Chain A
Amino acid sequence: MNPNLTNPRADEVDAILKRIPFAQTLGMRCDVLGDEMTAILPFQEKLIGNVTIRALHGGAIASFLELTAMLQVFLVSDMPRPPKPMNITIDYLRQGHAKDLYARAYVMKMGRRMASVRAEAWQENRADPVSAIVAHFMVAHD
């Protein structure tokens, strides 16, 4: 493997994900390439919010995006532990269909005390996001 493509934090992201019971309940996983991470939420019946139209629950999508944002902050920082969220704003843009969901997060600002992060989730087409969040995390080392 090309060592330049390998982020030593990548294995830690995987370990954190496995240790968080709620991430396991969701059933998400992450692919990390360097400082780029794609989160994957494989479809499961339990993620449905509306059985009539078979749409994913907004809360499940928001949970997935919040975890993705948190892990991205961890990935690009030198924090010993994942950061704690301060707030999150979710835009529900399109219906989440009964299929796999993907997400990527961007750290817009890494401050000394706070990080501002944006994350988007999509299905077929990355240009047509299902939902987007803006979240703030505490990144102070104390």
Chain B
Amino acid sequence: MNDNRNDPDRIAAVMREHVGLMNSAVPWGNEVGFEVTKIEPGHVWGRQPWAENLVGDPDTGVIHGGVITTFLDNLSGMACTAAMTKLRFVATIDLRIDYMRPAEKGLDIIGEAECYRVTKSVCFTRAWAYHGTREKLIATSAGTFAINKPRFGSQSPQGKTEV
């Protein structure tokens, strides 16, 4: 099968086309209110706005770490999908988050996730959350994701998997 050697480009294009659907199909993602802003092969960016109901420290208005975990987990998983040559979804195996500094009250958090290695069954990711630029890091993460086997309905009669 020598078709579509540039498949990650194609997958990223498919993801861009359906980004609204991918956002709205995740209730907990809607609840915390982040959005995906950019998708490239193996690389996904997003924005998490500050909101009162996400505050983890009522004295300072700092957003709770769980919001950042949700955000980076989601972006990392999408970066995996965007790194593969066929449309595959992933499940988080493990994720480590290091908190560098508290997020500032009222400011958007920018998230960036990269899938830097894809094996037969596992993807490896790293991700960053920051204000403005990566110079001002709020958190970093390292994750591993299991590649889900295609679900029923995505197999063609010949047993060849289709996107």
Q: Which residues of A contact B19 (CB under 8 A)?
A: none
Interface residues on B, range: 35 or more
Q: Is A120 an interface residue, CB under 8 A from the partner?
A: no
Q: Is A42 an interface residue, CB under 8 A from the partner?
A: no
- Assess the A59–B69 pair: CB atoms within 8 A: yes
Q: Which residues of A contact B97 (CB under 8 A)?
A: 87-90
Using CB atoms, name the residue of chain B closest to A16.
B58
Given A20-B56, A62-B69, do A49 and B94 touch, yes or no (CB 8 Å)?
no
Q: How far is the CB of A2 from chain B (nearest CB, A)?
A: 33
Q: How far is the CB of B84 from chain A (nearest CB, A)?
A: 18
Q: Which residues of B contact A20 (CB under 8 A)?
A: 55-58, 64
Using CB atoms, name the residue of chain A closest to B142.
A89
Q: Is A92 an interface residue, CB under 8 A from the partner?
A: yes
A18 to B59, CA, bound (A): 13
Interface residues of B (CB under 8 A from A): 25-32, 52-59, 63-67, 69-71, 73-74, 91-99, 102
User: Beyond the given A63-B70, A90-B96, could you list 11 further A-B residue pairs with CB under 8 A, ordered by the A residue number?
Assistant: A19-B58, A21-B54, A47-B31, A62-B70, A63-B64, A63-B66, A66-B65, A81-B59, A88-B96, A89-B96, A90-B94
